[in-house]
């Protein structure tokens, strides 16, 4: 599961629809309410009827992201996502966006490590037209040298803006230090050098390899009938090639055997520090469920273990967040803090002490029940909207199976304190971690410090400025600020 912060980031851009798009159940769906079909060309279709409002969420998840890249073509997934919005042979540049927003709809796309997601939210009367236009641009994007040059400028500006955020930079440093051989260590959006190496031919080849029927899932949730939605998806995606994507088997990452430390000086006033420990991938689902409950007990809410250690009297940090993103392959659980330089050692000691405690002592019945309740509330809130339900279904469908989303609450409710302790012992070592630090210059160091509080940006890169602003707002709320 994604941590609450990341879940908010993924779906915050959708919440302005919430008052009119309540799903009612608060969970993605009863398994019997989801219609699943595999089309003749391999496209997987998921439909959930939700007639609470005349809205339809359409999400297309492609199983490609930085996990499927190399250092040479790093960033190509994100560039290709942008090129989809340059139009197709039948739709001009930005016409997809204008067509959807022109009827009061919303369209966006994000690229992550394991997947690329395209989404639209429109009223029922326009969903067939929107589905057709979205499929056209996804399957047949116009990839020309001039368009690529224009988008390279846009993406370069995005990259510069992200690197100006010390929390983002700290996260990038942490990932690179943790994943030395696995592509999870690559920057999700590429680097200036790797972006310059990409040309139109490389993008067309990459698209032909990964934008194929068996590598796509189309999720439709809202005011539709299942039979009609499946038929419309079949028509819209009829030209998706029926061939498998290239097999990808990233090298296994070596275990952490001690601390790995990376640091950088930046013109800021407080330190950004992240401690990261090993975490499971979706291939071990029971461990994922236990890790989600563990994360909640460790750092979510006023009664969490780290809240008392880091935000006591006097507080050691200005703010902190605990983050664990379920991915296809094993990842990390990280604790990121904003803090004064003077408390760096004390904060490291407090975090490592909490990790040691959760390894050596099971949660109490009260701690376990509180963590379950908080996690259930978060997941229920996330899935209040049709778009939220579609996002949960699509997220797990992209890395494993949508069924994980349907049974999620029941399954984590079965997690025991002994299982959590066992998972902590299996993945955590208080003496084996990554420490990433972005810190202010020493006094007289020649860099002008700036005052800031920048929330951690979304794991998924948005192409919409407004979505980024909303996501940042909710990220700041999710970040453990002073109360």
Read off the CATH number of the domain in which 137 is found: 3.30.830.10
Q: Could you read off the pLDDT tens digit of each residue along the chain, which spans 483 residues?
A: 544 334 333 333 333 333 334 444 556 667 789 999 999 999 999 999 999 999 999 999 999 999 999 999 999 999 999 999 999 999 998 899 999 999 999 999 999 999 999 999 999 999 999 999 999 999 999 999 999 999 999 998 988 888 889 999 999 999 999 999 999 999 989 999 999 999 999 999 999 999 999 999 999 999 999 999 999 999 999 999 999 999 999 998 999 999 999 999 999 999 999 999 999 999 999 999 999 999 999 999 888 999 999 999 899 999 999 999 999 999 999 999 999 999 999 999 999 999 999 999 999 999 999 999 999 999 999 999 999 999 999 999 999 999 999 999 999 999 999 999 999 999 999 999 999 999 999 875 554 444 444 343 333 333 333 233 223 322 332 333 332
**Are 219 and 280 in a shared domain?**
no
* Structural domain that includes position 356: 260-478
Residue 173: phi and psi, rounded to 5, are: -60, -40
252 occurs within a structural domain:
no
**Are 163 and 287 in a shared domain?**
no
Q: Which of 202, 236, 270 is the last residue of a domain?
A: 236
Nearest-10 crossing angle of helices 145-163, 200-210: 80
Handedness of CA 14, 16, 17, 18 (dihedral sign): positive
405 occurs within a structural domain:
yes
Q: Give the number of domains in the chain.
A: 2
**Are 223 and 305 in a shared domain?**
no
**Are 227 and 304 in a shared domain?**
no
Q: What is the per-residue pLDDT for 362?
A: 97
HSE on the CB side for 136, CA within 13 Å?
17
Torsion of CA 218, 223, 228, 233, to 10 degrees: -20
Strand partners, 56: 122, 222
What's the rounded Cα separation, in Å, for the pair 69 and 241?
A: 21
**Are 338 and 266 in a shared domain?**
yes
What's the rounded Cα separation, in Å, for the pair 45 and 219?
A: 6
What's the rounded Cα separation, in Å, for the pair 417 and 424?
A: 11
What's the rounded Cα separation, in Å, for the pair 203 and 148?
A: 9
What's the rounded Cα separation, in Å, for the pair 181 and 252?
A: 8
Q: Count CB neighbours of 181 within 10 A.
A: 11
Handedness of CA 210, 212, 217, 222 (dihedral sign): positive
What's the rounded Cα separation, in Å, for the pair 122 and 387?
A: 10
**Are 119 and 268 in a shared domain?**
no
**Are 221 and 287 in a shared domain?**
no
**Are 183 and 304 in a shared domain?**
no
**Are 180 and 319 in a shared domain?**
no
**Are 176 and 309 in a shared domain?**
no
What is the C-alpha R_g of the chain? 22
Q: Count CB neighbours of 477 within 10 A.
A: 12
254 occurs within a structural domain:
no
243 occurs within a structural domain:
no
Burial class (CB in 10 A: 0-12, 13-18, 19+), 444: exposed
Q: What is the per-residue pLDDT for 27?
A: 67
Q: Which strands, in side-by-side order, build the sheet including 434-439?
A: 260-265, 434-439, 271-279, 331-339, 319-324
**Are 232 and 336 in a shared domain?**
no
Q: Which of 204, 236, 268 is the last residue of a domain?
A: 236
354 occurs within a structural domain:
yes
247 occurs within a structural domain:
no
Q: What is the per-residue pLDDT for 182?
A: 97
**Are 73 and 20 in a shared domain?**
yes
241 occurs within a structural domain:
no
What's the rounded Cα separation, in Å, for the pair 110 and 266?
A: 28
Q: What is the per-residue pLDDT for 433?
A: 97
SS3 of 345-398: the string is HHHHHHHHHHHHHHHHCCCCHHHHHHHHHHHHHHHHHHCCEHHHHHHHHHHHHH
253 occurs within a structural domain:
no
Give the number of residues written for the chain. Answer: 483
Torsion of CA 273, 278, 283, 285, to 10 degrees: -80
Which residue is listed with tokens 């029927």? Answer: 213
What's the rounded Cα separation, in Å, for the pair 162 and 457?
A: 8
């Amino acid at each position: 599961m994604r941590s609450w912060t990341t879940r908010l980031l993924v779906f915050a851009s959708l919440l302005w629809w919430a008052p009119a798009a309540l799903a009612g159940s608060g969970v993605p769906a009863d398994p019997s309410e989801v219609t699943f079909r595999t089309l003749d060309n391999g496209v997987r279709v998921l439909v959930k009827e939700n007639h609470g409002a005349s809205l339809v969420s359409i999400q297309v998840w492609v199983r490609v992201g930085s996990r499927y890249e190399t250092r040479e073509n790093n960033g190509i997934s994100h560039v290709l996502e942008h090129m989809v919005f340059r139009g197709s042979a039948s739709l001009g540049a930005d016409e997809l966006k204008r067509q959807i927003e022109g009827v009061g709809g919303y369209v966006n796309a994000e690229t992550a490590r394991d997947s690329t997601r395209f989404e639209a939210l429109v009223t029922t009367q326009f969903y067939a037209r929107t589905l057709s236009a979205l499929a056209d641009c996804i399957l047949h994007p116009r990839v020309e040298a001039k368009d690529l040059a224009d988008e390279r400028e846009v993406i370069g500006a995005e990259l510069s803006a992200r690197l100006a955020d010390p929390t983002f930079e700290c996260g990038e440093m942490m990932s690179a230090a943790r994943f030395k051989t696995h592509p999870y260590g690559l920057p999700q959006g590429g680097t200036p050098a790797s972006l310059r190496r990409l040309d139109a031919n490389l993008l067309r080849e990459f698209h032909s390899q990964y934008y194929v029927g068996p590598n796509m899932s189309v999720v439709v949730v809202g005011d539709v009938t299942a039979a009609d939605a499946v038929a419309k998806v079949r028509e819209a995606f009829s030209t998706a090639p029926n061939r498998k994507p290239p097999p990808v088997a990233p090298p296994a990452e070596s275990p952490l055997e001690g601390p790995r430390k990376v640091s950088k000086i930046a013109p800021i006033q407080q330190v950004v520090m992240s401690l990261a420990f090993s975490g499971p991938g979706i291939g071990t689902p029971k461990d994922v469920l236990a890790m989600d409950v563990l994360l909640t007990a460790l750092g979510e809410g006023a009664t969490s273990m780290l809240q008392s250690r880091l935000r006591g009297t006097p507080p050691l940090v200005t703010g902190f967040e605990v983050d664990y993103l379920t991915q296809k392959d094993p990842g990390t659980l990280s604790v990121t803090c904003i803090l004064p330089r003077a408390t760096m050692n004390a904060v490291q000691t407090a975090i490592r002490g909490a990790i040691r405690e959760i390894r050596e002592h099971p949660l109490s019945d009260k701690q376990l029940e509180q963590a379950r309740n908080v996690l259930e509330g978060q997941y229920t809130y996330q899935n209040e909207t049709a778009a939220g339900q579609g996002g949960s279904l699509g997220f797990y469908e992209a890395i494993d199976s949508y069924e994980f989303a349907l049974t999620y609450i029941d399954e984590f409710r079965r997690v025991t304190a002994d299982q959590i302790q066992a998972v902590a012992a299996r993945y955590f070592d208080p003496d084996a971690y990554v420490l990433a630090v972005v810190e202010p210059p020493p006094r007289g160091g020649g860099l002008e410090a700036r005052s800031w509080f920048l929330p951690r940006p979304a794991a998924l890169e948005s192409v919409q400025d407004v979505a980024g602003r909303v996501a940042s707002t909710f990220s700041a709320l999710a970040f453990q600020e002073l109360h």
